[in-house]
Structure 1
Amino acid sequence: MPSKFSGLLFQPRHLSPDFSTLRLLYGPVCLAVLGAWFGYANPLIHIPIAIIMLPAGIMLAASRASTQAQAFRYAFLTAWPAYTASLYWLALPVHDYGALPWALALPCPFLVAAVLAGYAGFFGLGIFTLGTRRDSGWGVMLSFGLWATLEVLRNVLLTGFSWLTLSSALAPWPQVLGLAAWIGGFGLSGIIVSAVYTLIFCTRFRKLWAVALVIICILPWALHRSEPPQNLASAALIQGNIDQNQKWEPELQAEILDAYLGLTRQAASHQPDILIWPETAMPFYYQDGGTLPTQVTDTVRDLGLPLVAGAPAYSLPAHGSEYILHNRAYLFNKNAQVLSWYDKEHLVPFGEYVPLGRWLPFISKLVPGAYEFGPGHDQLPLVTAGLTMGMLICYEAIFPELAQNQVAKGANVLVNISNDAWFGRSSAPLQHLHLAVLRAVEQNRFLLRATNTGISALIDPQGYIRTQGPSFVPSILLCKDIALLTATTFYHDHFHAIHASFALIACMAWTALRLAGQRFLSTTSTP
């Protein structure tokens, strides 16, 4: 019977029974942590290809286990510090704006990372169950299908958290993102993992699989057909650079609005088709009327240009006595009339609302505010001047189904308004931008990203960042030649079927490997 580790590129040393888990996992953990830190965006140095070390570390850890429980535990313990290192910034808003001491804020990234590591644990369990049959094409397919399926589940379970999607690390290399238009960002993550699996386990056919993977990555561009020239639009993204500590001070509301109105008047001289302010740029209830809302409408009317502007809002349910708050994007036409609005659908847990808050009243939000927000439902794109804008407010850009829904309702451009000032000069704004890149490629739409402190950008449907603004500087980002596209991608047209196919591929591969293993045992046991 061949060794469990035969065919490995990295052969583990002989381990004595009393060898500690820490010593056993030292190499895989270092590999995974370095891969996550350098692979995902960070302000110091970003090396996209390093991301392959994250799944490599998880696979190697799982392959060193001797039981299924141990495989899950090893994969979990390897992924946990890796994800924590990339999510360190979660502690910043909890401490700085949630007023919690560091002793309570610092565990937050560890807790969220533990959830992500749990999915990695199931991936490690899948790798372990392959036993001695890892050096096969079915193993490659299992690694692809299982990782992609787990990313899909991570997107929906426990309110969903698709941050650190593996493929988002490659956003600076749009040349390799073409496959996302066919199988989405989750599918592209699966391709990355299957390539790593091939490198580690498939020693006999490594060159063949490498060529196949290169062809798979190049094929989407070879099959790509440019859409005939469409109507072109222009936009001005207004970045106010308002300090988060000052944003909600009532005595500063007029000063904040003056900053946005001044930048807007400058931008209007370029005659863009649309002006876009970021999330909650108006730090007051526009619907209440008064001096500040009047200043907004007077300026829009004087400039004669439509405006999208974020603001808090509220509504009173038909049956109820308590107001519901909304994170809203208003659309003003050139005559300063509010044509429509979009209320954020996917709220930030513990930031805008408390999950299970009705049953767990002792848990409070981790950011300021006496009230919880309520989600919008079945929101339509905002339409003006030939633009049908699919809105994504802040956190919503990380969820592919929200961009999918907006394009399905007719959006010919995606607009992401955000306020990432919460996270300071951390990795979060860059990681957020890279997730938005995936949405543009998946849906074949230009994506306009207007932020308070950065990173404002124009992203094209191939994933190229056409223009990008500075961080923590008041600025105007002028975006030209925005094609208003109507063609949809294969991924868009078969969204749910593609996600289901990941699980189907994983199940087929696992079943085939189990049957092959049974035949092998039957053959070797025959006298």
Structure 2
Amino acid sequence: MMKKAAQLFKHKAYELRWALLSGILVGTSYIPFPPWALLFCYAPLWFSITEGNSPSVKKAFWSGWVTQFLLTAIGFHWIAYTAHVFGAMPWSVSIAALLLFCAFMHLYIPTAAAVGVWLQRRFQLSRIQTLFTIALLHALLERTWPVIFDWHLGYTLLGAHIPAYQWADVIGFAGLSALILIFNAWATTIWLKFKTSRQQAGLHLAAFIAVIVFLIAGGAYHKAPWDHFDQEFKTTVIQANIGNSDKIQAEQGRGAQEFITRKFTAMTMDAFAKYPDTDLFVWPETAFPDYLDQRLLGRKHTQMLAQGMATLDRPILTGAYSRSPVLDAHRDEATFNALFLIDGRGNNLDAPYLKTNLLAFGEYLPLSEKFPILLKWLPFISNFGRGKGPHAISWNHKGEPIRLGGQICYEGLDPQFSRGLIADKSDILVNVTNDSWFGQPSEPLQHMYMTLARGIETRRPLIRSTNTGISTVIWANGDLQQKSPLHQEWAGQFTVKYRKDAPVTAYVKWGHYDWIVLLLALTGIVLIGALHARSRRP
């Protein structure tokens, strides 16, 4: 029995070898790895499923499923750690959760492969036409498929500091991902042509290299207009490295609030002594473990904050909690995850921003808004109120208003949210988050670069303040400043250079509609293939 099982496994592994190879290539080309196989990582999968006169749709789907399972396991292995730490699940259950995540989260990859092969059979597309069809389907599905958060290969360009990422202000990082997928189809085409016509393959390879050089060199040139600034200020980010147990106790009101409050106030005053020219201090998500609404400043921990920073004459932008003045305070949705701009005594300098894009199961229970009974059945799941953002906070700096566009946690991963901040006249983007639940090093780097991408798309500097790292600042031209260490107490000062009334980028205006171009290209390939096949019929 064991021998037969081993032989079956060996046979299946050999049959799916190209799918397995693609999974490894994609997984090891994503952050934190260098993008060494970026331009051909999907080529083995697509090569194998389009082979033959009548390729199998079933084989295409299951090959794609193997690829997405493996790349997800490599790129998102930290899901198991998060389930264990954040969800308090046993390791056995956490690993099972990871396997379920790998099995179902990125099904758009096998779906694109299967639909592409079905179109090949249905409309008699050529193999090369099918390759580009799959690439376009993949690009369209990866931005519409329901996932916890969007990820794609476009972010790897920023992670590896390849200047082609500078084009994101025109087509966005999703558009760059579409280009990478098209390059994968093109690379597979070149490989196929080497078998039939080396001359044609050579011409394709020359054009392939020329386009890549243009995107990289042109990206460096495209950056130049954004190297000029007319305003600047100095900000100091406080990274207090609060442990998970203390965060949980503080959030549940079972202690640690005093310890956390004193730690942030002490670190801020020490940083002020070291950097007296600081204009703005930035604390991370829920750094202050209590309400900060103006009408609630008499609470114990707010008074503690005021006493600890009585001599501080600089504003602080901090994550904290807000309580609705309308809803019953005992209802979960009466509390908001919020971002406040305050002075050293806690006085609100503008209305707070209330988090809008809530984290499923961490900050709200899906479907509970339509079916409140779920909250009674699952009372242990947090259910925060939902804000009406995007909304910028106004900071009066030396008589000059500066609009701070706040993003809390993974709101920074949503391009549409940041476009809304630009519509609200944001001069600066500020992302506050708590990555303490994710371990190291993969997720903190992935989350950081995916968030910094919004600064390039909108051409606004972005300040990132985290509890445990990585805290940093990126300017609108893409220049990344110093990065904080992971899981260490740290305070660092940054010079934030920007342009007042900076122009709105092409991507913010219309670049996110590039899906229309992709859809037209897909339709064109299928129609041309179908008409060509029809003309060959007797």
For Structure 1 versus Structure 2, the TM-score category normalised by the shorter chain is 0.7 to 0.9
Match of 1:35 among 15, 26, 30: 26
Q: Displacement of 1:177 after TM fit? A: 0.5
1:210: Cα distance to partner?
3.2
The answer as to whether partners of 2:26 and 2:38 remain within 8 angstroms in 1 is yes
Does 1:327 find its partner at 2:343?
Answer: no
The answer for the alignment partner of 1:196 in structure 2 is 184
SS at 1:27's partner residue?
helix
Identity among equivalent positions (%) equals 23
- Per-residue deviation, 1:196: 1.7
| Offset of residue 150 of structure 1 | 1.8
Change (3 A) 1:115 1:504: farther
Q: Which residue of 1 aligns with 2:301?
A: 292
- Map of 1:53-64 to 2, 5 A cutoff? 54-64=41-51
Contact 1:143 1:194 in 2 (8 A): no
Distance 1:96 1:212 in 2: 45
Which residue does the alignment assign to 1:3?
none
CA distance in 1, matches of 2:491, 2:67: 43
Cα deviation, 1:495-522, whole Å, max 9, x if unaligned, reads: 4422433333322333333333333x33
* Separation in 1, partners of 2:104, 2:341: 38
How much does 1:108 deviate? Answer: 2.2
Counterpart of 2:106 (choices 107, 111, 117) is 117
The match for 1:374 is: 385
Q: Which residue of 1 aligns with 2:359?
A: 348
Partner Cα separation in structure 1 for residue 326 and residue 99 of structure 2: 38
Question: Does residue 235 of structure 2 align to residue 235 of structure 1?
Answer: yes
Give the aligned partner of residue 152 of structure 1.
Answer: 143
Could you say which residue in structure 1 is the equivalent of 2:255?
Answer: 251
Which sits farther off after the overlay, 293-302 or 168-177? 293-302
1:512 is matched with which residue?
528
Cα pair distance change 1:423/1:318, threshold 3 Å: closer
Are residue 401 (structure 1) and residue 416 (structure 2) matched? yes
Please tell me the residue identity of whatever aligns with 2:218.
Answer: L
Partner of residue 306 from structure 1, selected from 299, 302, 315: 315
Query: What is the Cα deviation at residue 291 of structure 1?
Result: 2.5
Q: 2:394 aligns with which of 379, 383, 395?
A: 383
- The separation in 1 between residues aligned to 2:261 and 2:329, in whole angstroms, is 33
Q: Give the Cα–Cα distance (whole angstroms) in 2 for the partners of residues 92 and 327 of structure 1.
A: 24
Query: Structure 1: any 5+ residue segments left out of the alignment?
Result: 1-17
Structure 1 distance, partners of 2:141, 2:48, is 18
Give the whole-Å Cα distance in 2 for the aligned partners of 1:481 and 1:100: 41
Deviations 1:478-509 (A, max 9, x none): 11142245222211111442243333332233
Q: Separation in 2 of the partners of 1:365 and 1:436?
A: 35
Q: Write the distance in 2 (CA, Å) between the matches of 1:301 and 1:60.
A: 67
Q: Distance in 2 between matches of 1:283 and 1:273?
A: 24
Kept in 1: contact 2:305–2:345 (CA 8 A): no
Give the match for residue 266 of structure 2: 262
Counterparts of 1:299 and 1:504 in 2: how far apart (Å)? 61
On the 8 A contact 2:332/2:383 being kept in 1, the answer is no
* Contact 1:453–1:471 (Cα < 8 Å) also in 2: yes
Q: Match of 1:355, as an amino acid? A: P
Secondary structure of 1:39's counterpart equals coil
CA contact (8 A) 2:402 2:427 kept: yes
Structure 1 pair 472/59, CA: closer, same or farther in 2 (3 Å)? same
Is contact 2:361–2:382 with CA below 8 Å preserved after alignment? no
Q: 1:263 to 1:50 in 2, by over 3 A?
A: farther
Shift of 1:119: 0.6
Give the 3-state SS of the residue equivalent to 2:488 in structure 1. coil
In the TM superposition, 1:349-498 aligns within 5 A as 349-357=360-368, 359=371, 371-384=382-395, 385=397, 386-485=401-500, 486-498=502-514
CA distance in 1, matches of 2:49, 2:362: 35
> Aligned-pair distance for 1:21?
4.0
Structure 2 equivalent of residue 80 of structure 1? 69
C-alpha distance in structure 2 between counterparts of 1:237 and 1:369, whole Å: 33
Deviations 1:88-120 (A, max 9, x none): 111222222322222322222233333443110
Check 1:297–1:508 CA distance in 2 against 1; reply closer, same or farther (3 A cut).
farther
Secondary structure at the residue paired with 1:246? helix
Q: Is the 8 A contact 1:316 1:323 kept in 2?
A: no
**1:344/1:23 Cα in 2 relative to 1: closer, same or farther (>3 Å)?**
same
Distance across 1 between alignment mates of 2:381 and 2:10: 52
Q: Which blocks of at least 5 consecutive residues in structure 2 are unaligned?
A: 1-8, 194-199
Look up the equivalent residue of 1:56 and give its one-letter code.
A
CA contact (8 A) 2:472 2:483 kept: yes
Please give the alpha-carbon distance, in whole angstroms, between the structure 1 residues aligned to 2:38 and 2:59: 24
Q: Pairwise mapping of residues 156-195 of structure 1 onto structure 2 (< 5 A)?
A: 157=146, 161-162=149-150, 164-170=151-157, 171-195=159-183
Describe the SS at the equivalent of 1:236: strand
Q: Distance in 2 between matches of 1:475 and 1:511?
A: 58
Match of residue 206 from structure 1: 205
Change (3 A) 1:32 1:193: same
Cα distance in structure 2, aligned partners of 1:503 and 1:437: 28
SS at match of 2:403: strand
In 2, the alpha carbon distance for the partners of 1:197 and 1:232 equals: 44
Aligned-residue RMSD, C-alpha = 3.0
Equivalent position SS for 2:365: coil
How far 1:169 sits from its partner (Å)? 2.0
1:121 Cα deviation from its structure 2 partner: 1.2
Note closer, same or farther for the CA distance 1:62–1:397 as it changes in structure 2 (3 Å cut): farther
Q: Is the 8 A contact 1:421 1:452 kept in 2?
A: yes
The answer to which of 446-455 and 261-270 deviates more is 261-270
**Mapped contact 2:307–2:345 kept (Cα < 8 A):** no
Q: TM-score, normalised by structure 2?
A: 0.84
1:362: how far off?
Answer: 6.8
| Pairwise CA distance, 1:446 | 1.1
Deviations 1:225-269 (A, max 9, x none): 515532112211100001011223333221211111111112223
- Name the residue aligned to 1:49: 36
Give the aligned partner of residue 503 of structure 1: 519
Q: Is contact 2:266–2:308 with CA below 8 Å preserved after alignment?
A: no
Structure 1 residues 518, 116: closer, same or farther in 2, change over 3 A?
Answer: farther
Q: State the distance in 2 between where 1:332 and 1:381 align.
A: 15
Matched with 1:10 is none
| Contact 2:19–2:66, Cα closer than 8 Å, also in 1 | no
Distance 1:75 1:382, change over 3 A: same
Residue 24 of structure 2 aligns with an amino acid whose one-letter code is V
Residue aligning to 1:276: 282
Does structure 2 retain, via aligned residues, the 8 Å contact 1:180–1:491? yes
The aligned length equals 496
